[in-house]
Chains A and B, each alone.
Chain A
Amino acid sequence: MNVKAVIKKYTMVIALVAVFALFAFLTQGRLLYPQNMSNLMLQNAYVLVLACGMLLCILTGGNIDLSVGSTVCLVGALAVKLLQVTSLNAIVVILICLAVGAVIGVWQGFWIGNIHIPPFICTLAGMFLFRGLGRVILASKTIAVSDKLFLNIFASYIQIPGLDNEKKWSALIVGIAVAVILLITLFTGRASKSKKGYTLEPLAPSLLKMVVIAALVVFYSNKLANYKGIPVMLLWVLAVVFIYAFITSKTAFGRYFYAVGGNEKATKLSGIDTKKVYFMAYLSMSFLAGLSGLLMAARIGSVNGDTGSSFEMDAIGSCFIGGASAYGGSGTVAGICIGAIFLGVINQGMSIIGLDNNWQYIVKGAVLLVAVIFDVVSNHKTGKAG
């Protein structure tokens, strides 16, 4: 692979590195403080989770879900209300809330998939509906969470007594272990491939890539170790990301989302139930929005009527910055994660510098536009404008 192809393939990674370096410089290294590195993750947990769901919607043909911010509010409100007024165990509350998220998904998926209501309109309606319902549950108040178990499940840090003291060694140990496992899987994978007689890619590039990833894992886990250790929220996010990465890249179920976005009629004539594909996209989206609602409630410690507002835009922005096609049919979970982290770094960096909120919007908007322009121009070069 020549340099040009590498640059094209890893454009967003390179851009992420550049933006990270820029803000590390502008903040005089404060961005790299363990606390900030840990928060970078926690503050963007909801974006990563929502972006995974949004990717499935966008894959089906550039369709988006505008209602996710409101669903976050509704489910979050339900959780805090149930914890406040009932004596239900936190785990029961969590299950109820996730079920409600799924029910909202069934509602939207039914209208969009089976009745063919345009997703934009259906989810716009949902945006008002669920926001309103959330506020009704909250009775226009802010409700705080005090349930220990609930907070522990989502917002605590992993601490192993005896091992973790000033430095949270558990984080570093896990990080190193993951790095080693990554490197081992690279070699075992190659070994099994060569045993079956398949052609192997050259070792150097894939090894380099894996070494870089492993180094980043160790670097980041060391940062976590120097702060409070591994946040439980990170585990939730990683679980969602890995499940969605697996579904989209490895399963037949995931393949259908790409197929519908690539050519819906051809997909239907291939015997695939396209209604079900739409249904599942919106079901999964609302379910993840419900999960995000719980994550947010635990992270902030309270829920009010504005919780989750404009979250859908962060999720949609991450997808498009991360290379998902606005017309559907292409995009990867790895890509949208980079997009989400990219947005997160910009947010965090600007907050540390002390740039006010209004400017953050301007910068985010510009970045989104530039990313999409770049994608369109580099992928649809026709040799001629227009």
Chain B
Amino acid sequence: MADSILVMKDITKEFPGVKALDNVNLEVERGEIHALVGENGAGKSTLMNVLSGIYPFGTYTGDIVYNGEECRFHTLRDSEEKGIVIIHQELALIPELSIAENMFLGNERKGRLGIDWDRTYHEARSHMDQVGLRDSEHTLIKDIGTGKQQLVEIAKALAKNVRLLILDEPTSSLNEEDSRMLLDLLLEFKKQGMTSIIISHKINEVAYVADKITVLRDGATIETIDNSQRNIDEDRIIKGMVGRELSDRFPKREHHISDEIGMEVKNWTVHHPVYTEKIVDDDISFYVRKGEIVGFSGLQGAGRTELAMSIFGHSYGTGITGQLFIDGKEVHLRSERQAIEAGLAYVTEDRKGNGLILPQTVAVNNTLARLDKVCGFGGVIDTVKENMVAEEYRERLKTKTPSVQQLAGNLSGGNQQKVLLSKWMFADADVLILDEPTRGIDVGAKYEIYCIMNDLVAQGKSVVMISSEMPEILGMCDRIYVMNEGKMVAEMDVADATQEKIMAAILKSEKTENEGE
């Protein structure tokens, strides 16, 4: 009998109208890294919320046995006292407070009178050393990148005497390098005897780090796969997740790249909006043909999003210089509205933050960028027409929503992404810049997004895809640009490109600096 730190037995959790978990079983051995995989909506996060007491005892049925005793957690604090700490996908850090202050938030080191700051900073230092964070403990959270913020979260968990660490999509907003560092850190902790549960969409990471992999689908446990030998086939996991063979992760397409250039950018330089002397994008030139998908690879902070947004009507940056040609004609786009009218679309990487209006309906979101197209005389909205438009895109993109009157905030990540794409397709863009179009969405939805991209180029549109996932860049693009630290460092045809070549291009350009932003 194995030494199980955690056994969850027959967990069933219902929400009004939905059975989110249906007799789910999970067994985690002491000292292992256990991965939980499944498509969006499979119930992974719900299961972890049950475990951590966010859904208190009594709102679910089934048993949780932790360290041999049955647990009934009523609040998050109950589970944390037992050493179960969950780190959510959206980090819970306060930007204006320092690393140390964040680390002990709600868990303050108290002295005789108020907080014992000396002890706080001393302990913060030691936990930061454990996770390999070399910044000062006084540094504000807003001044460090997402990768380091993730490390702060882990250090925060260590400060709570964590025995069972749960990470929900820890690498979804990290680049490959930071992701690898984080995973290696988990492996290091494992050697010291810590148990972790990791929820992830990234199959390669799961295969790399996990000893066992439990697959959830539609709220039920499908199987637990042993990976102690690190010999699992990635397709084997995907098959379990989607319940079918996914023979190819990237849909085939016929290439009809025209000779005409859809968009060309020459000598584009962008300065930081606040620190105006800092150059974010330095003398960038690139082009995309009609019917072509061009990929932008690079690490986080390479300046790709900033480049895209500055092109899109100067929505980022100051002191922007350079030339922009759309359809062969030079244009000067000073506002988002002008960019849209010129046939440009920027589909943001942050669909919740600046993509969709979550408390509005799918239909409202769908038409927002070109509301005039559904308006009659005097700017009066034809709601019937608006709904028909939304309905049309719902069918075309196979968006799963009960109706177009559903609030965008109630949809899953993949479906929100489809609504966002619908919005920009409705805006009649000829050149679409897709920024991390598949971030945080599951394998099935990714495939559908890829199909939509193929449709777009088949119609003769130009697509620029910014992505930090190299397999996706290699699988989908015709040509690849590599950026690093605001500079264009390589351009390659997909036929010649490999992950190693892209990484090499990035690393070769990094001679002076050893860390990205």
Q: Does A85 contact B (CB under 8 A)?
A: no
A258 to chain B, nearest CB (A): 7
A252 touches B372 (CB 8 A): yes
A383 x B356 contact (CB < 8 A)? no
The distance in angstroms between the C-alpha atoms of A198 and B423, with both chains bound, is 24
Query: Among A15-23, A29-37, A178-186, A259-267, which stretch is in contact with chain B?
Result: A259-267
Query: What chain A residues lie within 8 Å of B359 (beta carbons)?
Result: 262, 329-330
Flag whether A147 is at the interface (Cβ < 8 A).
no
State the CA gap A204–B312 with chains docked (Å). Answer: 50
Does A4 sit within 8 A of B, measured CB to CB?
A: no
Assuming the contacts A250-B381, A269-B348, A271-B335, asked whether A263 and B358 have C-beta atoms less than 8 A apart, the reply is yes
- Is B243 part of the contact surface with A, judged by Cβ < 8 Å? no
Complex-state Cα separation, A255 to B381, whole angstroms: 9
Chain A hits for B337, CB < 8 A: 271-273
Known: A271-B313, A271-B340, A329-B360. A252 touches B59 (CB 8 A): no
- Check B336–A252 contact: CB distance below 8 A: no
Would B360 and A252 count as touching, CB distance under 8 A?
A: no
Give which listed residue, A253, A267, A383, contacts B59 with CB less than 8 A.
Answer: A383
Q: In the complex, what's the smallest C-beta–C-beta distance from B368 to chain A, in angstroms?
A: 5
Query: Roughly how many angstroms separate A31 CA and B402 CA in the complex, as a whole number?
Result: 47
CB-nearest residue of chain B to A330: B359
Q: How distant is the Cα of A192 from the Cα of B384 in the complex, in angstroms? A: 13
Mark interface residues in B351-382 (1 if CB within 8 Å of A CB, else 0).
00111111110001000110110010011110
Residue B315 CB within 8 A of the other chain: yes
Interfacial chain A residues near B375, Cβ < 8 Å: 251-252
For window 428-462 of B, CB contacts with A under 8 Å fall at none
B353–A265 CB distance below 8 A: yes
**Contacts A252-B381, A271-B313: A263 and B336 contacting too (C-beta < 8 A)?**
no
Contacts of A330 in B (CB 8 A): 359
- Does B339 sit within 8 A of A, measured CB to CB? yes
Neighbouring B residues of A273 by C-beta, 8 Å:
335, 337
* A270: interface (CB < 8 Å): yes
Flag if A259 contacts B357 (CB, 8 Å): yes
Q: In whole angstroms, how far apart are the Cα atoms of A262 and B372 in the complex? A: 19
Q: Which of A80-96 contact B (CB under 8 A)?
A: none
Decide yes or no whether B56 CB sits under 8 A from chain A: yes
Does A268 count as interface, using CB distance less than 8 angstroms? yes
Q: Would you call B353 and A251 a contact (CB within 8 A)?
A: no
Residue from B59, B358, B371, B423 within 8 A of A262 (CB atoms)? B358
**B346 within 8 Å of A by Cβ?**
yes
Whether A195 sits at the interface, judged by CB under 8 Å, is no
Interface size class of B (residues with CB under 8 A): 35 or more
Between B54, B56, B371, the greatest number of chain A beta carbons within 10 A of the residue's beta carbon is seen for: B371
Chain A: interface size category: 20 to 34
User: Which residues of chain B have C-beta atoms less than 8 A from A252's C-beta?
Assistant: 371-372, 375, 379-381
CB–CB B371/A263 < 8 A:
no
Chain B CB within 8 A of A384 CB: yes
Q: Within 8 Å CB of A198, what residues of B?
A: 384
Q: Which of B356, B380, B423 has the most CB of A within 10 A?
A: B380
What residues of B have a CB within 8 angstroms of the CB of A272 in the complex?
A: 336-337, 368
CB-based contact B360/A258 at 8 Å: yes
* Given known A329-B360, A330-B359, contact A267–B379 (CB-CB < 8 A): no
Contacts of B59 in A (CB 8 A): 383
B240-276 interface code vs A (CB 8 A; 1 in, 0 out) = 0000000000000000000000000000000000000
Please state if A268 and B336 are interface contacts (CB–CB under 8 Å).
yes
Do residues B335 and A265 form an inter-chain contact, with CB atoms below 8 A? no
Q: Which positions 458-510 of chain B face chain A at CB distance < 8 Å?
A: none
Q: Are A251 and B384 in contact (CB under 8 A)?
A: no
The CA of A269 and the CA of B433, in the complex, are separated in Å by: 13
Cα–Cα distance between A367 and B312 once the two chains are bound (Å): 48
B 30-70 to A, binary, CB cutoff 8 A, 1 in contact else 0:
00000000000000000000000011100100000000000
Which residue of chain A has the shortest Cβ distance to B365 in the bound complex?
Answer: A266
Contacts of B335 on A, CB cut-off 8 Å? 271, 273
Whether the pair B360, A262 counts as a contact (CB closer than 8 A) is yes
Among B357, B371, B375, residue most surrounded by chain A Cβ atoms (within 10 Å) = B357
Q: Which residues of B contact A383 (CB under 8 A)?
A: 55, 59
Q: Which of A251, A265, A267, A269 makes the CB contact (< 8 A) with B380?
A: A251
Give A260 Cβ to nearest chain B Cβ, in Å. Answer: 9
Q: With A and B bound together, what is the CA distance between A258 and B364 in angstroms?
A: 10
Contacting residues, chain B, for A267 (C-beta < 8 A)? 357, 368
Proximity bits, A356-384, B CB within 8 Å = 1, else 0? 00000000000000000000000000011
Which residues of chain B come closer than 8 Å to A251, judged between CB atoms? Answer: 375, 378-381
Per a CB cutoff under 8 Å, which of B339, B360, B380 touches A250?
Answer: B380
A366 to B320, CA, bound (A): 54
Closest to A265 in B: B354
Q: Chain B residues near A329 (CB, 8 Å)? A: 357, 359-360
By the criterion CB–CB under 8 Å, are B379 and A253 in contact?
yes
- Give the Cβ gap from B218 to chain A, nearest Cβ, in Å: 22
3 tightest A-B CB contacts, nearest first? A265-B354, A262-B357, A271-B337
A252-B371, A271-B369 known; 9 new pairs, CB 8 Å cut-off, are A251-B379, A252-B379, A252-B381, A259-B368, A262-B358, A268-B336, A269-B354, A273-B335, A330-B359
9 A-B Cβ contacts within 8 A?
A198-B384, A259-B357, A266-B353, A266-B357, A266-B368, A269-B315, A269-B346, A271-B336, A384-B56
